[in-house]
Amino acid sequence: MKYSLTIGWLYPELMNIYGDIGNITTLIKRCEWRNINSEVKMLNPGFKSEELVNCNLLIMGGAQDKQQTVVNKDLKRVKKELCQMIEKGIPGLYVCGGFQFLGKYYKEADGTIIDGLGVLDLYTENSGENIDRLIGNMVFMPEVKELNKPIVGFENHGGRTYLGRKIKPFGKVIKGFGNNGKDLTEGAIYKETFGTYSHGPILPKNPEFADYLITKALEKKYNSRITLKSLDGSLEDNARLVIAKSLDIEI
Ligand code: GLN
């Protein structure tokens, strides 16, 4: 049987910085290498909610505050459907600005408060001082039993995210800032939804996580256990070692 996946790329033109497009390319290629069909739905402002609900995996990248304000208005139209998908366990990856939308609110650098979807118990505030942005390569250890290698990425955000009691972090910071530069938490996990501050982009640098998302999306769609054919990851492992060395850490 030939499997197929529909990947919903939320706001590809507005929410796509620091190489986030690489997450889509990685998912397509890793499906192709296993003879899995994949189709990418470009969900630009004004997209129809039917297009969204037919997706098996959702991806949203990050953006500057300016684009986030525009996207936030459009996102309100599909809030109900998107929250239902997250609650149903449709897997998704939401990076930085995308991650901030999942929480209760995001206070932008100029003090404007934009309401989030409120589906994750967290909030984000940006103090507005440019000097205070959290920037650099980052490494964190994911708190997901299937993922046993540190995740390497790149972060650049003014917002500080604080998790509430009802939400688990995606991982623990080894190097870098993560959610707020204080409590060593990075990102968040809710059901099969992952929020992270890691651009980089995250999936090509950490293919085990890409495969985890593909597996979960297929399992949900076909309602059966899926084991993906393994692929050679030595190039990515070496790339991670180079980054770790440059950061003076051992992974
Ligand atoms: N504009 C948001 C912030 O500065 C998100 C940035 C991003 O997506 N890299 O916190």
Reply yes or no on whether 96 is catalytic.
Answer: yes
What pLDDT sits at residue 127?
83
Low-confidence ranges of the chain (pLDDT < 50): none
- The alpha carbon of 64 and the centre of ligand 1 are apart by a number of angstroms equal to 5
**Would you tell me how many other CB atoms lie within 10 Å of the CB of residue 10?**
27
Choose the residue to mutate in 65, 99, 161, 179 for probing ligand 1, maximizing ligand atoms within 8 Å of C-beta.
65
What pLDDT sits at residue 79?
97
Reply yes or no on whether 157 is catalytic.
Answer: no
What pLDDT sits at residue 95?
98
What pLDDT sits at residue 146?
96
The model's pTM is 0.97
What pLDDT sits at residue 130?
59
Pick the closest to residue 200 from 153, 132, 165, 148 (CA basis). 153
Distance of CA 167 to the CA centre of its chain: 16
What pLDDT sits at residue 129?
64
Length of the chain: 251
- The alpha carbon of 195 and the centre of ligand 1 are apart by a number of angstroms equal to 13
Q: Which domains does the chain have, with CATH numbers?
A: 4-246 (3.40.50.880)
- Pair 188, 164: CB distance under 8 Å: no
Question: What would the pLDDT profile of 40-52 be if each residue is shown by its tens digit?
Answer: 999 999 999 999 9
What pLDDT sits at residue 132?
84
The torsion angles phi and psi of 228, rounded to 5 degrees, stand at: -80, 145
